[in-house]
């Protein structure tokens, strides 16, 4: 794929101090258009507003998909991506489900890689800092009437981000949603489409009103089996076995989830991908067999879960402290991602920056 480069006259000031998450955008963005059955005009251009028609179909029928990944600067100066092919493949699966055009794996990676190369000086180097990368696609055809659009934009933007938890890894309080559902088999739960998140906000608001930070979703049919958290997959250590929901259509197949399951199996842990009833989880919390629990996702990497709330019943996990296994997984995965530990799995992908 040929990518045109349009230089910016004046570069932005880089932020100083705490970066937070998603607060700053870099100097450039990657843009490509789809019309008449093909992608064209791949370009890296100055970051800025884009124009599209008020009747663009995404605004009515929500054909929009996205990805989330990071670039890391290793201590020896290498610039690393983490398993970018998994994001590329998941993006293809999301786009197929939403009847949107696909971007070939190699083109997706090339777009990300070239933008990261251009923006290499934006990759922050403080402890736990990285460059968050957000590729996304949406329907631009101007039409009213439900059908798959004929034209789309694919854009990649970047944002320097700080450690998700600047004071270190700390447990979060999770609210188990018993009214709203996020996904059902046959729906779009396995995709990363904006609509999934729009539909989840009402539960998030309920959780926050009760003092909880995140929502744990139950399955959409029985409201019984544990699925995933707002933007993370979840894992529970019960009687020395790690339990997590299977990726059979309703949960997002997380890159972090896959990596952690791999590492745990490699360490000899028994891992079960199964439908786990919320009643059994709460029972395990009360009888002490629930040892640790954590969420996995690109943004926070690993998030220990310290408390669960379900219909007024509350379970505290590991005395609301980060468990030993949770910490070990966090240290191992971040060690690989930032290039501090040997990557025996071949997961890191170096972006050559001369």
Ligand X SMILES: Cc1ncc(COP(=O)(O)O)c(C=O)c1O
- Which residues within the stretch 231-290 sit at the binding site for ligand X (CB under 6 A)? 231-233, 252, 254-257
Quick one: tokens of 184? 């059902």
Nearer to ligand X, 46 or 68 (CB): 68
Residue 28 or residue 83: which is nearer to ligand X going by CB? 83
Six-digit token pair at 127?
A: 């402890």
Nearer to ligand X, 57 or 302 (CB): 302
> How many chain residues are in contact with ligand X, going by CB under 6 A?
13
Helix, strand, or coil here: 38?
Answer: strand
Q: What tokens does 263 get?
A: 């590492």
> Which residue, 282 or 301, is less far from ligand X as judged by CB?
301
Give the whole-angstrom CA distance, residue 197 versus residue 115: 26
How far is 245 from 227, CA to CA, in rounded Å?
Answer: 6
Site string for ligand X, 63-92 (x = CB under 6 A): -----x------------------------
At closest approach, how far in Å is the CB of 87 from ligand X?
A: 7
- Which span (131-139, 151-159, 294-302, 305-313) binds ligand X, by CB under 6 A? 294-302
Q: Which of 95, 250, 296, 332 binds ligand X (CB under 6 A)?
A: 296
Least distance (Å) between residue 331 CB and ligand X: 17
Place of tokens 């979060």: 172
Give the residues across from 131 on adjacent strands: 71, 160
List the end-to-end C-alpha distance of the chain, in Å, as a whole number. Answer: 21
Report helix, strand and coil shares of the chain as percent, to nearest 5. Answer: 25, 30, 45
β-strand 270-273 against 241-244: which pairing, if any?
parallel
Question: Per CB under 6 A, does 297 bind ligand X?
Answer: yes
Whole-number minimum distance, CB 43 to ligand X, in Å? 26
Query: What is the contact surface with ligand X in residues (CB under 6 A)?
Result: 68, 228, 231-233, 252, 254-257, 296-298
């Amino acid at each position: 794929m040929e990518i045109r480069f349009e230089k910016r006259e004046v570069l932005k000031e880089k932020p100083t101090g705490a970066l937070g998450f998603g607060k700053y955008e870099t100097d450039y963005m990657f843009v490509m258009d789809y019309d008449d059955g093909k992608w064209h005009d791949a370009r890296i251009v100055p970051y800025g507003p884009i124009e599209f028609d008020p009747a663009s179909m995404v605004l009515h029928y929500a054909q929009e998909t996205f990805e989330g990944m990071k670039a890391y600067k290793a201590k020896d100066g290498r610039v690393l991506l983490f398993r970018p092919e998994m994001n590329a493949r998941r993006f293809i699966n999301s786009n197929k489900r939403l009847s949107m055009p696909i971007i070939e794996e190699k083109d997706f990676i090339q777009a990300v890689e070239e933008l990261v190369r251009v923006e290499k000086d934006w990759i922050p180097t403080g402890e736990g800092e990285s460059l968050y990368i957000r590729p996304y696609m949406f329907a631009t055809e101007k039409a009213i009437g439900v059908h798959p659009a004929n034209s789309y934009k694919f854009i990649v933007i970047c944002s320097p981000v700080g450690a998700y938890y600047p004071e270190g890894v700390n447990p979060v309080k999770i609210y188990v949603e018993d009214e709203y559902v996020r996904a059902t088999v046959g729906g779009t739960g396995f995709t990363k489409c904006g609509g999934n998140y729009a539909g989840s906000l009402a539960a998030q608001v309920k959780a926050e009103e009760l003092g909880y930070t995140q929502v744990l979703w139950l399955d959409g049919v029985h409201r019984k089996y544990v699925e995933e958290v707002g933007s993370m997959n979840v894992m529970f250590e019960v009687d020395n076995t790690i339990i997590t929901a299977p990726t059979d259509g309703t949960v997002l197949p997380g890159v972090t989830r896959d990596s952690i399951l791999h590492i745990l199996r490699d360490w000899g842990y028994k891992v079960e991908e199964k439908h786990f009833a919320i009643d059994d989880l709460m029972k395990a919390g009360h009888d002490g067999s629930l040892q640790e629990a954590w969420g996995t996702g690109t943004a926070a990497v690993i998030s220990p879960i310290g408390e669960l709330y379900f219909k007024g019943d509350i379970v505290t996990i590991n005395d609301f402290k980060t468990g030993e296994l949770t910490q070990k997984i966090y240290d191992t995965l971040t060690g690989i991602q930032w290039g501090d530990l040997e990557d025996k799995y071949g997961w890191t992908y170096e972006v050559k920056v001369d």
